[in-house]
Structure 1
């Protein structure tokens, strides 16, 4: 069984979106991975995103990661908001047309957590509730006040480094405490935003919940 991702382009709202896709035979589900802040150099090749991709792959999931508009070879320019959510929605539509039977899990790191949360709300409104959501150091400060997490059918895990220098951990803790739905908040002690030297621990936290 090959574990090599295939490079491809998916039609997005602003033109082709660069993606890496791994389709496993008899996959347990599909993992869609949303990368961090493109203005700060975030891409689908980010090491945290790559770790999440390998973790999902090793757990038997087909995986799909992609570059938002204006990142890498993806067409368009940064929107830093609803545009990236539009991109993610287009990617979900593409894969759902090909593999409608596979349950969807969403993974979002940093700005990608903002994208994943907003995407989940859109999908839920369409009757497509993600099976699982993993938010790693999510940029909750970008969320609009009306953004909710009402996908009650999905399992939600939030993983937050306690020494995060990019996303204020207390904002994530407060946001977690405000949620009106069951979820798990995992705090990683003595760890910064990018999990330097701690990627193995991140993989263990996620793999044990897949």
Structure 2
């Protein structure tokens, strides 16, 4: 009885509390609070414009001559595009192109983050990737919350491959049951991955204490035969990409070749 009453009170308060809950989902980091030093040449700053007119700042390393691969990178909930650029620099290995996406409300961008807002931002960055690499192959990589953006885009559009690191099953599984009615956003990765036709690589640290590694198992089950799960022994929520970049590109190449075999 008491539990039912508390649940009712939570539901009644939901409209007023939605913005408060959303503020706890997203932790934008200002560029003023960010200092990084790149291992190689710094990326080129650029912008992508969303369907609702927001100009979002990102970074870009072009593919080297003779390389037609470009990966679009989506960061997590408490990052920004500059932090992610430094952490994703390793994906340049082999001369591949890297496009660092950003979201509304993050890294001094205009707007406020939301599920549909981030998906719209992802659409803008995918369009930018096709503009930059019109005849080449496009891959999507998402860390944590960025994994939800990458999976949703892969479900909507044809890309060459997609990978996530530390992805959750759905946002509701990350919060206590009593608070789920207050969630303004869903981010249902289980539903999204089931709609993806391209090869999906699920990278997950075995010692991840933010998102239980069991999430990768459930996502693999939901995605089916085109999903490859990689258990990163000793890895936590974020695993340095220097340690897995070559392995990821090699795995993508192998999966791509297998997909075209008669």
Answer yes or no: same fold by TM over 0.5.
yes
* d(CA) in 1 for partners of 2:166, 2:214: 11
Q: Hey, what's the Cα distance between the residues in 1 that align with 2:229 and 2:133?
A: 31
Offset at 1:64?
Answer: 0.7
1:98 deviates by 4.1
Q: Which has the larger radius of gyration?
A: 2
Is the 2:193–2:222 contact (alpha carbons within 8 Å) kept by the matching residues of 1?
no
Q: Aligned residue pairs: how many?
A: 195
| Displacement of 1:209 | 2.3
Provide closer, same or farther for how the CA distance between residues 207 and 29 of structure 1 changes in structure 2, counting only shifts above 3 A.
closer
Q: For residues 22-37 of structure 1, what are the structure 2 equivalents within 5 Å?
A: 22-24=61-63, 25-37=65-77
- The answer (yes or no) to whether the contact 1:130–1:151 under 8 Å persists in 2 is no
Match of 1:76 among 87, 111, 115: 111
Match of 1:151 among 184, 196, 201: 196
Match of 2:99 among 56, 64, 67: 64
Cα shift readout 1:97-146 (whole Å, capped 9, x = no counterpart): 343211110001100101100111121xxxxx111111111122234364
Shift of 1:173: 1.2
Q: Which 5+ residue runs of structure 1 have no aligned equivalent?
A: 124-128
**In 1: Cα distance, 2:241 partner to 2:72 partner:** 19
Give the Cα separation in 2 of the matches to 1:113 and 1:103: 19
Give the TM-score normalised by structure 1: 0.82
Matched residue, 1:52: 88
Q: How big is the shift at 1:156?
A: 1.6
TM-score by length of 2: 0.67
The residue number in structure 2 matching 1:206 is: 248
State the alpha-carbon separation in 1 of the partners of residues 94 and 226 from structure 2: 23
Structure holding more strand per residue:
1
Kindly state the Cα deviation for residue 204 of structure 1 after the two structures are TM-superposed. 4.1
Partner SS state of residue 170, structure 2: helix
- The residue aligned with 1:188 is 232
Q: Secondary structure at 2:208's aligned position in 1?
A: coil
Query: In structure 2, how many angstroms separate the alpha carbons of the residues matched to 1:105 and 1:205?
Result: 15
Q: Which residue of 2 aligns with 1:126?
A: none
RMSD of aligned C-alpha atoms? 2.2
More helix by share: 2
CA–CA distance in 1 between the matches of 2:236 and 2:224? 28
Equivalent residue, structure 2, for 1:130:
159
Asked if 1 retains the 8 angstrom alpha-carbon contact of 2:167 and 2:215, the reply is no
